[in-house]
Every structure is written in C-alpha cells, then in structure tokens.
Structure 1
C-alpha cells in the first residue's frame, strides 16, 4: 500500500465514524475529512466501500 492509499483509507475510516455517530450532512463529512468535493468523496467512498455514504448511514442505523 502506498502513502496516498494509506491516507485515503484513514480519511474514509474517519468519514465512516462521522457518518455512523453524527447527523452531519454528507458534504460536511466530506469537508471535515479533507475532501474538497463532496461528489469526489462520494465516488471514492463507493469505490472503497461498495456503497454510497448515504447507504452506509442507513445501514448504520443513523
């Protein structure tokens, strides 16, 4: 795993925690975890987790 992939993994894990534990919007979670674009965040999240942030939140019971 290269450095960029490692950092992205950490950011996605932080985003998962925020999605699970807060009611912040998807855009707020994206910005808080260092993504400049909520659309890019959603695309990357889907690639890594095989679901969108909204789907993840619904599955997490928030």
Structure 2
C-alpha cells in the first residue's frame, strides 16, 4: 500500500516538474536528477558532476589513443 502511494506521489511530482520546466524553458540540476531517477526507476541519485567527470575521462582516453596511434 505504501509503495502505491509513493508511486502516485512520484508521478505527480514528475508531472509538476515537467510542467515547471515547460513554463520556465530550462531545468535546474535537481529537477534533472529527479527526472533521470524516475526514468531509470532507481532510488540511487546520480549526480551530473559524476557523469561529467566520467565523460571527460573517457574523452581524454579517446584523445590519447588517437594521438598515440599516429
């Protein structure tokens, strides 16, 4: 029963956030995190800083591989 109430609460929160983003035309980081977590159906919070650090490291590795191969 609690899980259903939590799901309904999450759905209404996601709808409210989407409406706010449409009105404002941009999203704050916390809103993106909530939408991301809802889309992935996960309770774990993934911070954008971690995503950007990982993507920067991957890009640096790719650049090094390209540079060293020539």
Same fold, TM-score > 0.5, yes or no: no
TM-score (norm 2): 0.41
TM-score (norm 1): 0.45
Bigger proportion of residues as helix: 2
